[in-house]
């Protein structure tokens, strides 16, 4: 996929199949069909998040921007390329993508970081970078969304009411925060499924026999 590609998510029947390269009637198609409900729910979730009947408190530009940023944080190049192309297809998306690409290098890390409540798990506490997204090329509202997305991806144990208050201060509503959190969690799920199916694809049907029952 070229750096100037444009994708309209409404024209992609199944994003997971599209990114992995699963063709109808292939062995991976048959494998996914074993979990038809999971497959359909993933497809419907994509439509609900990126092509909702009403945008509500989160615009299409914000939804696509968050998706591209989260995919970039996970450093999964095929998924990032897909959502970058989808972002280019939204008015204002190309400018946002340039700002996102400038943010990703300092934002990427490993994790998960954070502190557990005092107790036996405290020995697993781990400190890591706290990302502060620059608002250059973005409005303050989206910069706050990126900071929160980074928190959920790399500092899930540090999620708190204070983090929610920062979003509210930046103009996010409670409904919008729920949608933002759904976007981050869905992208994480989608990337894991795509990674697993890609491993099976590269291994081939014989080596993968008996595996992949949950994808």
User: What pLDDT digit, counting tens, does each position of 156-175 carry?
Assistant: 877 889 999 999 999 999 99
Q: Is the dihedral of CA 154, 174, 140, 86 positive or negative?
A: positive
- Is 49 within a domain? yes
CA distances from 46 to 10, 14, 23, 168 (A): 9, 9, 19, 25
Torsion angle (degrees, nearest 10) of CA 39, 45, 50, 55 = 160
- Is 86 within a domain? yes
- Is 134 within a domain? no
What does the pLDDT look like over 19-59, one tens digit per residue? 999 999 999 999 999 999 999 999 999 999 999 989 999 99
Cβ atoms of 166 and 185 within 8 Å: the answer is no
- Is 15 within a domain? yes
- Is 210 within a domain? no
pLDDT band at 214 (very low <50, low <70, confident <90, very high): low
Domain membership of residue 98 as a residue range: 9-109+186-203
Average pLDDT score over residue span 113-122: 62
Average pLDDT score over residue span 61-65: 97
**Residue 138 confidence (pLDDT):** 83
**Residue 210 confidence (pLDDT):** 56
Element (H, E) at 122: none
CA distance 39 to 34: 9
pLDDT band at 2 (very low <50, low <70, confident <90, very high): low
Q: Is the dihedral of CA 8, 11, 16, 21 positive or negative?
A: negative
- Is 85 within a domain? yes
pLDDT band at 147 (very low <50, low <70, confident <90, very high): very high
- Is 24 within a domain? yes
What does the pLDDT look like over 64-103, one tens digit per residue? 999 999 999 999 999 999 999 999 999 999 999 999 999 9
CA distance 31 to 17: 12
Looking up residue 32, the CATH number of its domain turns out to be 1.20.1290
- Is 27 within a domain? yes
Q: How many domains does the chain have?
A: 1
């Amino acid at each position: 996929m070229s750096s100037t590609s444009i994708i309209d998510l409404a024209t992609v029947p199944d994003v997971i199949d599209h990114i992995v390269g699963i063709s109808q009637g292939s062995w991976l198609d048959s494998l996914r069909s074993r979990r038809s409900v999971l497959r359909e729910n993933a497809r419907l979730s994509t439509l609900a998040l990126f092509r909702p009947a009403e945008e509500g408190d989160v615009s299409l530009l914000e939804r696509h921007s968050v998706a591209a940023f989260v995919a970039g944080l996970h450093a999964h190049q095929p998924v990032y390329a897909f959502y970058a192309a989808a972002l280019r297809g939204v008015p204002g998306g190309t400018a946002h993508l340039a700002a996102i690409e400038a943010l990703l290098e300092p934002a990427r890390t490993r994790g998960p970081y954070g502190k557990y409540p005092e107790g036996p798990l405290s020995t697993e506490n781990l400190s890591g970078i706290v990302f502060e997204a620059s608002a250059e090329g973005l409005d303050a509202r989206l910069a706050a969304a990126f900071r929160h997305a980074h928190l959920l991806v790399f500092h899930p144990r540090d999620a708190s009411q204070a983090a929610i208050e920062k979003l509210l201060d930046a103009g996010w509503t409670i409904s919008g925060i729920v949608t933002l959190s759904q976007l981050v969690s869905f992208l994480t799920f989608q990337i894991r499924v795509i990674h697993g199916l890609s491993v099976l694809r590269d291994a081939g049907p014989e080596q993968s026999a008996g595996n992949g029952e949950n994808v």
